[in-house]
Structure 1
Amino acid sequence: MLIRLLRTYLRPYKKPIALLVALQFLQTCASLYLPTLNADIIDDGVVKGDSGYILSYGALMIGISLAQVVCNIGAVFYGARTAAALGRDVRGAVFDRVQSFSAREVGHFGAPSLITRTTNDVQQVQMLALMTFTLMVSAPIMCVGGIVMALGLDVPLSGVLLGVVPVLAICVTLIVRKLRPLFRQMQVRLDTVNRVLREQITGNRVIRAFVRDEYEQQRFRKANTELTDVALGTGNLLALMFPVVMTVVNLSSIAVVWFGAHRIDSGGMQIGDLTAFLAYLMQIVMSVMMATFMFMMVPRAEVCAERIQEVLETESSVVPPVAPVTELRRHGHLEIREAGFRYPGAEEPVLRNIGLVAKPGETTAVIGSTGSGKSTLLGLVPRLFDATDGEVLVNGVDVRTVDPKTLAKVV
């Protein structure tokens, strides 16, 4: 779902994405070249005492660093703009789809859930896209490039990488597998908090009139505590990931220094090469950490994308007319002929054989007890629902054949 959603709404932004990928590639290549220049300065400049060599290669390093900064700024700029455009487009699409829903679809999802899906869920997908453009694009380039450059410096010492990368991958995979169900549960409980809060704000006067303040406080406290518990669970897993990664990093650095010292002592490696190798090791580990940070966001973004896609793929039960009527000659005339309505799955219809005529200038009252179907009957006129039996006519025309905009102006 996540890949399909991103592919659909990022398709109009191919050029900015291609440009930011190119900028990320250039700045990553510059970052990979800097340790090699540093090693040359140490081996051919510092060790030999050649000040001219140090100054010339130092100036080259400064120039490459400046180019890296410029490329990085450009990549972040285009990445932020593209991610913001993605969020805008997805929010607009969800909003337009919800506007086309009948009361049946709104009741199916629930207004609090639709609010969460339009705001928080879209924000999670947008943040994932932003992190992908600013971090994840450069991570594989840096990882592969760092391994290649490390192999070019010293092949035997590169054996340390064979143990570091798989261990990191296994640790990250195990933690991410536990995060996914927790993130799904978090979004559901966030819906619950929104629902309880919305009910309390809407019914504030009734709550005070019947002195139900304490009961409503307990309801919100329970929903808030459940959301907090899930958030703490995900936070504990996220907090566990960084110590695990840093432990592997520190142990691998110790191993590189230990074996590298023996290589230098035996004459198989120079001091500058060991310094560059450590730099490449840190770049490889940093790329893995960036990927780790992305993997932490992916489970929640996947859950949010599924919820967003569920809304986008839901068709309204109120189908627009094929050949809509865009002009109504008569005004203020409402007629309901033998109308009936049954909710999906209900044993009995809410409305049965309803007949009503309301002429211009008349006042018509619909009286009945709570739950007798007054709101449902009223909802048939603006097509919040469609009658399952009979007809509803406005100005002599069946509302199912009237253009929705024209009907909205009349009713």
Structure 2
Amino acid sequence: MLMPLLRRFLRPYRTWLAYVVGLQLLGTIASLYLPSLNADIIDNGIAKGDTGYIVRIGAWMLAVSLVQIACSITAVYFGARTAMSYGRDLRGAIFARVGEFSARELARFGAPSLITRNTNDVQQVQMLVVMTCTMMIAAPIMCVGGIVMAVRENAGLSWLVAVSVPILVGSLTLIIRKMVPQFRLMQQRIDSVNRVLREQLAGVRVVRAFVREPVETRRFARANEDLTLTAVRAGRLMVRMFPTVMLVLNLSIVAVLWFGAYRIDANQMQVGSLTAFMTYLMQILMSVMMATFMMMMVPRAAVCAERIGEVLDTEPSIAPPADPVANLQGRGEVEFRDVTFAYPGAAAPVLRNVSFRAGAGRTTAIIGATGAGKSTLLALLARQFDVTEGSVRVDGVDVRDLDPEVLWGVLGLVPQKAYLFAGTVASNLRYGDPQADDERLWQALETAQARD
């Protein structure tokens, strides 16, 4: 799921990505050229005491270094812009998809999980894009270029590259394979913490009314401890990576100095070439380390991308009709015809063969015990769910055949629990009609007996 998600949302930024690749290529080539120039100074300048040669090549090295710095800074700039734009578009796509969900899909995912997917999960994938633009693109170029330049300096020591790189890759791969399940579990633990915290904040009055603070504290502590343990297990694996890299790197340097000294003693190699070869070997291993570091991020990003993809690929169960009715001719008559409805996974329907008519201009009260299905009737009328059997009609038209905007435009719904959005009272009152003037706002407040 990770690659399709990247291709889909990075497509608009192909030009910026091309800039990143070109700049990283040029900067890496400049970085690979520097050790060769340094070797030239040692062998042809310092060894021969030629100060003018040292100054000329040193100035050229300075120019190459400035080019490398400029390319790196510009590449990071375009890479960061690409990643931030990618994250913005991905968050927007998730928000738009969730806005299309019916109550069925919202109940399936749960609000805490949707929040985590649109924040933490997107951040993990976005971080992967940032690191790819700044590190991963340069890593293979440096690795291949380093091998070519190392062999060019001295082919007799090239076998050290063939030995050290597979050892480093194999060691880090073993660590990464153990990290993948921990990252997958960590995202689930984050969901759990968010769910428990959200329930406690939303139900704080109930918690206090029944003096359940100690119970809820222990409940949150368990969720928090589960997340901590999972993070610690993943962290223990992560901390093994850098020591492993440094161990292989230091052993490789020792081997280069050891075998290189024999070749210098046998006049098969110069000191400058040994210095350059050692630098190229370090660049090769560091590029492998960067690639491996990226591979460490890929599993977690892949898990997050999978969770994001589940949201984006979920089609709303309440789909607009192919040929919607755009106009209602009546005055607002509501009719339920043999309506049967069962919630997903329920053993029995909550409504069975319900039929009634609510005439226009009349007040119709529906009375019943808690759980009898009164709120469900309103949810079916607003088409938050579709009926299992039968039909719900407004002015003789099945709500499933109506344009959703038309249906919601003729409904006025007062929920059981009021909800205020961030902002002022006026901005909340204008939520239903952004063009309402102050006179209409005061009229609404008087109707709701909330003027004072």
Name the TM-score class by shorter chain: over 0.9
Inter-partner Cα distance in structure 1 for 2:363 and 2:235: 60
CA distance in 1, matches of 2:239, 2:360: 68
The residue correspondences of 1:10-409 to structure 2 (distance < 5 A) are 10-409=10-409
Distance in 2, matches of 1:247 and 1:399, equals: 69
**Cα distance in 1, alignment partners of residues 330 and 75 from structure 2:** 60
One-letter amino acid of the structure 2 residue matched with residue 297 of structure 1: M
Is the deviation greater in 133-142 or in 266-275?
Answer: 266-275
Matched position secondary structure for 2:239? helix
User: Secondary structure in 1 aligned to 2:354?
Assistant: strand
Q: Distance in 1 between matches of 2:389 and 2:175?
A: 54
| Further displaced range: 183-192 or 372-381 | 372-381
- How far 1:331 sits from its partner (Å)? 4.4
Q: Which moved more, 1:63-72 or 1:28-37?
A: 63-72
TM-score computed with the length of structure 1 as normaliser: 0.97
Partners in 2 of 1:65 and 1:365 — Cα distance?
80
Q: CA deviation at 1:43?
A: 1.0
Q: In 2 relative to 1, CA 338–294 (structure 1 residues): closer, same or farther, beyond 3 Å?
A: same
**How much does 1:360 deviate?**
4.7
* Deviation string, structure 1 residues 118-155 (Cα, Å, up to 9, x no partner): 11111111111111111000000000110110001111
Distance 1:403 1:381 in 2: 13
Q: CA shift at 1:353, angstroms?
A: 1.9
SS in structure 2 opposite 1:57?
Answer: helix
Helix, strand or coil for the counterpart of 1:386? coil
Q: Which residue of 1 aligns with 2:419?
A: none
Q: Distance in 2 between matches of 1:363 and 1:210?
A: 37
Structure 2: distance between partners of 1:386 and 1:252? 67
Residue 391 of structure 2 aligns to a residue whose secondary structure is: strand
Using the aligned pairs only, state the percent identity.
Answer: 61
Once residues 270 and 340 of structure 2 are traced to their aligned partners in structure 1, the CA distance between those partners, rounded to angstroms, is 89
| In 1, Cα distance between equivalents of 2:378 and 2:388 | 14
1:363, distance to aligned residue in structure 2 (A): 3.7
Please list every run of 5 or more consecutive structure 1 residues that lacks an aligned counterpart in the other structure.
none
Shift in Å, 1:183: 0.7
After superposition, give the CA deviation of every residue in 1:353-390 in whole Å (9 maximum; x if it has no partner): 22343345544333333322222222112211001122
The CA deviation at 1:229 is 0.4
The letter of the residue matching 1:53 is Y
Q: Which amino acid aligns with 1:124?
A: Q
Q: Output the amino acid matched with 2:223.
A: A
Letter in 2 for 1:368: G
Q: What displacement does 1:96 show? A: 1.5
Shift of 1:256: 0.7
Return closer, same or farther for 1:287/1:331 CA change in 2, 3 Å cut-off.
farther
CA distance in 2, matches of 1:331, 1:255: 90
Using the alignment, how far apart are the partners of 1:355 and 1:338 within structure 2? 5
> Following the alignment from structure 1 to structure 2, what is the Cα–Cα distance between the partners of residues 51 and 328?
93
Distance 1:343 1:27 in 2: 60
Sort the Cα spacing of 1:215 and 1:365 in 2 relative to 1 into closer, same or farther, 3 A.
farther
Paired residue total: 411
- Matches of 2:345 and 2:211, distance apart in 1: 36
Inter-partner Cα distance in structure 2 for 1:29 and 1:333: 75
Counterpart CA distance in 1 for 2:123 and 2:273 is: 45
Name structure 2 gaps, 5 residues minimum. Answer: 412-452
Question: Please, what is the CA RMSD of the aligned residues?
Answer: 1.4
Could you list the per-position Cα deviations for residues 225-265 of structure 1 after superposition, in whole angstroms to 9, with x for gaps in the alignment?
A: 00110000101100011111111111111111111112112
**2:39 aligned partner, one-letter code:** A
CA deviations 1:161-195 (Å, max 9, x no partner) are: 11110011111110111111111111111111111
Q: CA deviation at 1:211?
A: 0.5
Query: Aligned partners of 1:42, 1:304: CA distance in 2, in Å?
Result: 50
Q: Please, which moves more after superposition, 101-110 or 293-302?
A: 101-110
Q: TM-score, normalised by structure 2?
A: 0.88
| Distance of 1:200 and 1:2 partners within structure 2 | 34
Task: Supply the distance in 2 between the matched residues of 1:380 and 1:313 (Cα, whole angstroms).
Answer: 25
Q: Check 1:208–1:363 CA distance in 2 against 1; reply closer, same or farther (3 A cut).
A: farther
Partner SS, residue 377 of structure 2: helix
Task: Report the CA distance between 1:14 and its aligned residue.
Answer: 1.7
Offset at residue 393 of structure 1 (A): 2.1
Deviation sequence 1:91-132 (CA, Å, 0-9, x none): 122221111111111111122111111111111111111111
